[in-house]
Amino acid sequence: MIPFNRLNRLRLIALLLWALPVAALLPLGAFWLWQTGTLYVWLAAMLLCSAAGYGLQYWLLRKNRRLLADVDTAPDPCWPPRADGAWAAVERLAEDANPEDWPLHDGGRLWALGRNTLDTVARYYHPTEEQPLLELTVPHTLLIIERASRDLRIMVTAHIPLSHRLTIGDLARAWRWKDAAERLVNLYRAGRLVVNPLDALLSEAWGHLRGQAYGQAWGETQRWLLREYVRKVGYYAIELYSGRLTLSDEAPEATRTPASQQDMTQAAKSDSGTDEPLRITVMGRANAGKSSLINALFGKLTAATDVLPDTTPGLQPYRLAREGLTAALILDTPGCDADAFNEKTLWKAAMASDLILWVCAAHRPDRQPDRSCLDGLRAGLSANLEHRSPPLLVVVSHIDQLRPHREWQPPYDLLHPQSAKATHIRAAIEVIADDLAVPVASVIPVCLAEGRVYNIDDALWAAILARQDEAGKVRFLRCLEQRKRDENWTLLRQQLTNAGRWLLKLPERTLR
């Protein structure tokens, strides 16, 4: 900081003498405008230009705010349901982060803000622990800081002008010269007020508006940086607790699990793929048409069908290929009311499913067993907050047996039914949707009788493909859980091996 009394007064006088003719133009120009009667016109024009400039700056500020909002960190759609509450807590913490409380130039305060974010997420996942932050492992804590810093560096470099040129030293020096610069500026403003009061007042007003706009823009940038910092730290903390953050640098992907490898080998006999297939499980009561549905999806006889109470002794995998569908396995199951039914096996199949097709016969009025089994599956799936519940489609079979029994002239317009058959099919769909507590849009009527296959290639396949993305998210979390288990065993073997080598060399090191 340079005191004013150390300035060379002669140099200052020389500078003022040099600037005096230029400064004299301002009062002389105002006097000439007053003489010609155009002073008020000039004032009005200046006010209009100032208002237009302020409006343009305000528009640019809003535009920049929208641009910053577009690059805000958002929750990952592949997170399990439990992560929703944790992200809401992170968002509340980010909204409360202000530059006045957490200055960007104070590294200690920023570290405290990051620790508060980690503690917020940890407390959500470990509400009964006195110090939930201590539940994090050291490698994972370092990984969260590393990933958050990397992403924030990329975003600052891409969206903050001159961020790649300004150094920490530049900012520190500018902060030290702040008081001296403000003192000199105040001296200039006082002198300008003496020389030309009218112009000085107008300039002060315009400068205030401009400074307010720039100050608001800088404040918005600071707030955005703080909120992004909180969101990034919270994002990777949730990634860790939801099982998605692994210690390896490889990007998480849906790699094939041992169970799917076994099923694919059984279904396709020879399979060299490595991607995890979508697991589509067909469930329902005995003789509802589960195996017939699989045959209709394949367009050929694949699953055994019979009039016996049940012909499916256990889970039977089949390799399903269709244009627009990723690699998929479709699994046939015994009826939930059959003698071969095993509740534990069916529950495991539902937990390992990415999409469930529940087959319900349209001509059966007793749907309580379907509802009871579905309620049990839904309650168990929704209680597991670390997984996503697979999407559910209810396939209504035997619609050809609805009244009038002898009429069968598809296609039927169910939105605007024109015949008694279409009216009864639509009514059956609405009743089944209500009985099974599913949306009407998730109920697909089909006919699976030989020679009468209807609504498979259009409505059912369209519904399956429409839910492929949602099923893919379920598959991703399922594969990630397997990957975490594999990583734990790999790291444990590596650590034990390295520890054993160190112990073997310990006597040699001791002798040395």
Task: Tell me if residue 217 falls in helix, strand or coil.
Answer: helix
Residues 393 and 442 both lie in one domain: yes
Residues 290 and 204 both lie in one domain: no
CA distances from 404 to 156, 219, 400, 407, 428 (A): 69, 72, 9, 6, 13
What domain range is 119 assigned to?
Answer: 61-241
Q: Can you give the pLDDT at residue 210?
A: 45
Residues 378 and 331 both lie in one domain: yes
Please determine, for residue 288, whether its predicted confidence score (pLDDT) is greater than 60. yes
Neighbours of 153 (CB within 10 A): 11
Per-residue pLDDT band for 81 (boundaries 50, 70, 90) equals confident
Closest Cα partner for 384 from 360, 418, 350, 414?
350
> In whole angstroms, what is the distance from residue 60 CA to residue 58 CA?
5
* Tokens of residue 163, six digits: 């961020």
- Compare 93 and 258 and report the one with higher pLDDT: 93
In a domain, 39, yes or no: no
Mean of the pLDDT values across residues 155-182? 62
Residues 317 and 462 both lie in one domain: yes
Residues 323 and 440 both lie in one domain: yes
> CA-based angle 26:30:31, to the nearest 5?
115
> CA-based angle 135:140:145, to the nearest 5?
110
Closest Cα partner for 116 from 129, 130, 97?
97
Mean of the pLDDT values across residues 271-291? 86
Residues 180 and 298 both lie in one domain: no
Domain limit, last residue, from 241, 267, 300: 241
Between the two ends of the chain, the Cα-to-Cα distance in Å is 60
Q: Can you give the pLDDT at residue 118?
A: 85
Stretch among 8-12, 45-49, 143-147 having the lowest mean pLDDT: 8-12
In a domain, 250, yes or no: no
Per-residue pLDDT band for 425 (boundaries 50, 70, 90) equals very high
CB of 476 closer than 8 Å to CB of 252: yes
Question: pTM score, two decimals?
Answer: 0.67
In a domain, 216, yes or no: yes
Residues 231 and 263 both lie in one domain: no
In a domain, 454, yes or no: yes
Residues 337 and 227 both lie in one domain: no
Residues 237 and 287 both lie in one domain: no
Per-residue pLDDT band for 360 (boundaries 50, 70, 90) equals very high
Residues 297 and 329 both lie in one domain: yes
In a domain, 383, yes or no: yes
Per-residue pLDDT band for 52 (boundaries 50, 70, 90) equals confident
**Domain CATH for 424:** 3.40.50.300
Closest Cα partner for 413 from 400, 401, 423?
423
Closest Cα partner for 145 from 60, 233, 66?
233
Per-residue pLDDT band for 313 (boundaries 50, 70, 90) equals low
Please determine, for residue 60, whether its predicted confidence score (pLDDT) is greater than 60. yes
CA atoms within 13 A on the CB side of 252: 23
> In whole angstroms, what is the distance from residue 333 CA to residue 360 CA?
14
Pairing of strands 355-361, 392-397: parallel
Residues 210 and 276 both lie in one domain: no
In a domain, 33, yes or no: no
Q: Is 323 left (phi over 0), alpha (psi -120 to 50) or beta?
A: beta
In a domain, 190, yes or no: yes
Model confidence pLDDT, tens digit, residues 248-274: 655 555 677 878 888 887 877 656 667
Residues 212 and 271 both lie in one domain: no
Q: Can you give the pLDDT at residue 248?
A: 63
Q: Which residues lie below 8 Å from residue 164, measured CB to CB, with a gap of 6+? A: 157
> In whole angstroms, what is the distance from residue 291 CA to residue 309 CA?
13
How many folded domains does the chain comprise? 2
Q: Can you give the pLDDT at residue 212?
A: 46
Model confidence pLDDT, tens digit, residues 388-406: 899 999 999 999 999 998 8
- Compare 205 and 380 and report the one with higher pLDDT: 380
Q: Can you give the pLDDT at residue 159?
A: 62
Domain limit, last residue, from 241, 267, 296: 241
In a domain, 340, yes or no: yes
Q: Which residues lie below 8 Å from residue 387, measured CB to CB, with a gap of 6+? A: 80, 351, 381, 474, 477, 478, 481
Please determine, for residue 343, whether its predicted confidence score (pLDDT) is greater than 80. no
